[in-house]
């Protein structure tokens, strides 16, 4: 599709949605500047190109019988929401389910897509505290939009993969967790605790920040897990468990 900026796609992926096989498409651009971001080159619009829609749909069809979803991630896909709607309509005509990975800070574009019943699964990160993890001065505005988006998703009852980046030694996230879980008015979601890995395993946006705060201990992870369990949430999984430091 002319105008849709992408980084590329992967025909078969088993790591982008828990328990599912996906055809994953990366879109360029993002409105946040998270210091631990591993896809910062995509987020900053580097090494991007126009989507060749015909080639994309052809490969998607060839992969159809092997996948559970087309998974669209980034960057932040909702920056290109108009182009996404057109693409998603074509994908739906192929009878392929769609998963969207978004930071959920662009509430109106999200609602526009949800109103057209084009999304079957959503993944997002609960980045808390946002003043530390969003990487922008207007974090409070984006956090308010994130909460609005969670409430809207609840109303649509769309399955949600809620990923929680776990950072070493951070405090102050409890308030934001309470705010987020208070607006989730349904139980059609699961939690993935995602210990944020830093150099040399990853190449984050802010290397020095990540050397200081990434690679959390099991104690850091268990502290977050225990807090969530006390809220009565039981569907909690931990990513990258074998790489966590002691």
pLDDT at residue 8 greater than cutoff 90: yes
Handedness of CA 140, 231, 120, 19 (dihedral sign): positive
Closest CA to 181 of 157, 160, 158, 150: 150
CA 171 to chain centre: 22
What is the pairing mode between strands 121-125 and 98-101?
Answer: parallel
DSSP state of 28: P
What percent of the chain is modeled with pLDDT above 70?
Answer: 96
pLDDT tens for residues 34-90? 999 999 999 999 989 999 999 999 999 999 999 999 999 999 999 999 999 999 999
pLDDT in tens, 14-28: 999 999 999 999 999
pLDDT interval class at 1 (50, 70, 90): very low
| pLDDT for position 241 | 47
CB 146 within 8 A of CB 105: yes
Nearest alpha-carbon partner for 123 in 245, 214, 239, 225: 239
Above 80 in pLDDT, residue 245?
no
Question: Is the pLDDT higher at 243 or at 75?
Answer: 75
Mean pLDDT of the chain: 94
pLDDT tens-digit profile of 121-172? 999 999 999 999 999 999 999 999 999 999 999 999 999 999 999 999 888 9
Task: Say what the pLDDT of residue 131 is.
Answer: 97
Domains identified in the chain, total number: 1
Cβ-count burial of 171 within 10 angstroms (0-12 exposed, 13-18 middle, 19+ buried)? exposed
Q: For residue 3, what pLDDT is reported?
A: 79
Measured CA to CA, the distance from residue 136 to residue 86 in angstroms comes to 30
pLDDT digits (tens, 9 = 90+) for 137-151: 999 999 999 999 999
Residues 6+ apart with CB under 8 A from 128: 164, 172, 173, 176, 177, 180
Give per-residue pLDDT as tens, 194-240.
999 998 889 999 999 999 999 999 999 999 999 999 999 999 999 96
Tell me the CATH number at 212: 3.20.20.70
Q: What is the pLDDT of residue 191?
A: 97
Q: Range of 183's domain? A: 5-243
Q: What is the pLDDT of residue 240?
A: 64
* pLDDT at residue 242 in the model: 41
Dist CA 4 CA 123 (whole Å): 21
């Amino acid at each position: 599709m002319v105008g849709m900026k992408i980084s590329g796609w992967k025909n078969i992926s088993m790591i982008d949605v828990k328990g599912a096989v996906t055809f994953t498409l990366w879109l360029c651009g993002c409105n946040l500047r998270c210091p631990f971001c591993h896809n910062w080159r995509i987020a900053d619009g580097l090494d991007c190109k126009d989507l060749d829609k015909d080639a994309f749909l052809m490969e998607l069809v060839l992969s159809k019988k092997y996948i559970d979803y087309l998974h669209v991630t980034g960057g932040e896909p909702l920056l290109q929401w108009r182009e996404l709607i057109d693409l998603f309509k074509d994908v739906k005509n192929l009878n392929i389910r769609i998963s969207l990975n978004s930071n959920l800070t662009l509430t109106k574009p999200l609602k526009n897509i949800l109103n057209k019943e084009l999304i079957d699964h959503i993944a997002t990160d609960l980045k808390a505290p946002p003043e530390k993890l969003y990487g922008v001065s207007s974090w409070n505005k984006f956090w308010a939009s994130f909460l609005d988006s969670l409430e809207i998703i609840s109303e649509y009852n769309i399955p949600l993969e809620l990923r929680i980046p776990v950072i070493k030694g951070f405090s102050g996230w409890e308030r934001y967790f309470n705010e987020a879980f208070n607006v989730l008015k349904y139980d059609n979601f699961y939690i993935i605790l995602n210990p944020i890995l830093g150099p040399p395993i990853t190449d984050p946006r802010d290397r020095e920040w990540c050397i200081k705060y990434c690679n959390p201990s099991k104690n850091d992870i268990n502290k977050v897990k225990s807090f969530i369990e006390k809220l009565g949430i039981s569907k909690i999984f931990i990513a990258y468990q074998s790489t966590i430091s002691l």
